[in-house]
């Protein structure tokens, strides 16, 4: 009977820790998401045809062989 009470106590403590970890994770995800959204607020999406011009076609297109190949 005593061992069962100890077991119950251990399970309750584990449950509290799991709930606290879940709460901490929810808070962290919310905080990090807000920070990222703040940073990305002014970022705009480039039209698909403009990105190779901006970065150079060799940078983004690795499938085409270079002159050395």
> pLDDT at residue 60 above 50?
no
Concatenate the DSSP letters of all residues of 6-68 into one string: HHHHHHHHHHHHHHHHHHHHHHHHHHHHHHHHHHHTT--PPPTTTHHHHH-HHHH--SS--TT
% the chain with pLDDT above 90: 32
The residues spanned by each domain of the chain are 1-42
Q: What is the pLDDT of residues 4-41, one digit of tens each?
A: 889 999 999 999 999 999 999 999 888 888 888 888 88
């Amino acid at each position: 009977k005593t061992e069962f009470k100890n077991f119950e106590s251990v399970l309750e403590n584990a449950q509290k820790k799991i709930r606290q970890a879940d709460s901490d994770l929810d808070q962290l995800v919310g905080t990090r998401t807000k920070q990222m959204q703040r940073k990305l607020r002014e970022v705009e999406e480039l039209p698909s045809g403009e990105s190779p011009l901006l970065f150079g076609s060799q940078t983004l297109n690795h499938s085409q062989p270079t002159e050395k190949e």
